[in-house]
Every structure is written in C-alpha cells, then in structure tokens.
Amino acid sequence: MPKVFEALKWASSFLKQAGRDENAGELLLLHHMKKSRASLLADLRMDIDKQVWEIFQQDVQKHAQGMPVQYIIGCEQFYGRPFKVNEHVLIPRPETEELVQGVLLRSERLFSEREQIDVVDIGTGSGAIAVTLALENKKMRVSATDISEKALAVAKENSEKLCANVHFYQGDLLNPIINAKQKADVVVSNPPYIPDEEIMELSTVVKDWEPTLALSGGADGLLYYRKIVEQLPDVIRYPGLIAFEIGHGQGKVVKSMLENRFPKAEVQIEYDMNGKERKVFAVLSL
C-alpha cells in the first residue's frame, strides 16, 4: 500500500490532468483517515490502510469526473461549523458567510434594545444562514422557508445536529410566512440569481451537480428578487433589515427595486472578498 505522501502525489497529478482542483485529494484523504491536517502532514510516511486506499481512489476519480468534493464527503464548513450537504442543496460559499456577518452587525446596532429579533431566511437550502444566525445571536428567533422538501430535510438535520432552534416551512419564498400571518424584523435571502442562459457556462462541478432550482434566477437572474420585494411589505416590520446576496453586476437593479418599494430605506451595495458586488442591505427606519 502507498504511503500518505505517495497517495497525495498521485491524487494531485491525477486531478491536475483532469483539470480539477489538485488540493481535493488532501480533503478526501483527511476525511477517510479521520485526521486533522496537522496530523496528516505529521504522518506523511505512514502506510495507508488497504480499504482506505481503495475508497480514496474511487472518490478521487469521482471528483475528476466533476462531482464536488463536498458532496463526496457529505459536508462543508460554514462559519466554523460542519453542515451536511448533498445534491438537493447548494454548497455554502465563503461569500455567504460575509452576508451573515453583515446581518449580525446591523442587527446588533438596529435592535440593541430588543430581547427578541424575528428573522426569516428565504430559500434556506442547507440551512446554513438560518442555523448560523440562530447560533450566533441568541436573541434571534429564526424561521426559514424552502420550496424543496428534500432541501428542508437537510436543513432540519443540520439544525438538529448543531442544536439550533429554527422553525422550517415548506413553500414558495415568503408565502408560508404571510399565510401564517407572521412578521419579521429581519428578512435575509440568498436566492437563485444566475441568468438561465449562463447556467450552461458554469463549471461542470456546479452545473451538473448542484440543484438547478437553487441556481437559476430566470431570464435575467432577477426573478426572485422581484417576487420577494413584492412580498416584503406584508412581512417586514419597522425598524427592519433586508439582506440579499446578489450576483456580480446586479447591485444597482436590486438596490433600485428596494428603494422603489421602500422610498425611505437606506440601501447599500457591498462587495465581497474578491471585489465583486455580492450583498445588498436595506435598513428601514421608523
């Protein structure tokens, strides 16, 4: 059986030839050997167990064919916590952590006197946003919606495993919240925002594996923003906070949608760690 460093070298070379991320081999080996990175690097000359080697090779080949490492492992880290992911939910991205951070900072300022902050996460997917907000700010009473029953099953499992108190509703966008006659201080969403014609231009790792339902935002990528903004007056309280993740180049349009619907709102576009438009925040004052 090969040693750890030989297995990593093989995986790196194999994935490079396939045009995939060479570092994926290390993530897969960490998973199968149940080691930390420091421990793995300390054991580079250790022989790999036969069963681990066989499964590792299969998984490297799966990733070479396009399957995301996160789906192979069944997990992705978000805000320092492990979230279960599968083909029914979008893989949480670091950019979305910035959206969560923005919501937490603004909520602290806006609702400092409150004992309870009612939050709704629209299109929750894996539950990453909803669960993280509930755990990071104990004042937040979080509800989350998703149209996909299978996505909600993943979100509920993540919520239970991480001991977060989140109420989940199946339905389209804000409809379940409106039907339940609930109001919210904070509405946050990372809706599908990729224009339909651009879906086929995405990496095979994304377009062939991640759910199209969670990616496709209609002809111009703005379909769900329009729908949500239309529904918001039925749900949002004053003072209130609205937070969207957006695609690059969508900031001005989403900002103007919010300003048209809420003329007195203070609306800001924020860039992500890569210098791309990624978040729009609207603060509604009394």
Q: Is 96 annotated as a binding residue?
A: no
Q: Is 175 annotated as a binding residue?
A: no
Helix (H, G, I), strand (E, B) or coil at 270: strand
Q: Is 124 annotated as a binding residue?
A: yes
Cα–Cα distances (Å) from 46 to 7, 32, 56, 58, 72, in that order, read: 11, 14, 15, 20, 24
Peptide bond into 239 cis (omega under 30): yes
Q: Is 217 annotated as a binding residue?
A: no
Q: Is 123 annotated as a binding residue?
A: yes
Angle, nearest 10°, between helix axes 24-33 and 50-64?
150
Q: Is 125 annotated as a binding residue?
A: yes
Instruction: List the end-to-end C-alpha distance of the chain, in Å, as a whole number.
Output: 68
User: What gap in Å lies between CA 201 and CA 238, rounded to an integer?
Assistant: 41
Is residue 78 packed enough to be buried (19+ CB in 10 Å), middle (13-18) or exposed (0-12)?
buried
Tokens 């509930």 correspond to: 134
Helix (H, G, I), strand (E, B) or coil at 108: helix
User: What gap in Å lies between CA 253 and CA 196, rounded to an integer?
Assistant: 18
Q: Is 190 annotated as a binding residue?
A: yes
| DSSP type of residue 194 | B
Q: Is 251 annotated as a binding residue?
A: no
User: What gap in Å lies between CA 166 and CA 154, rounded to an integer?
Assistant: 13
Q: Which residues does the annotation place in the binding site for substrate?
A: 190-193
Q: Which residues does the annotation place in the binding site for S-adenosyl-L-methionine?
A: 123-127, 146, 190
Q: Which residues does the annotation place in the binding site?
A: 123-127, 146, 190-193
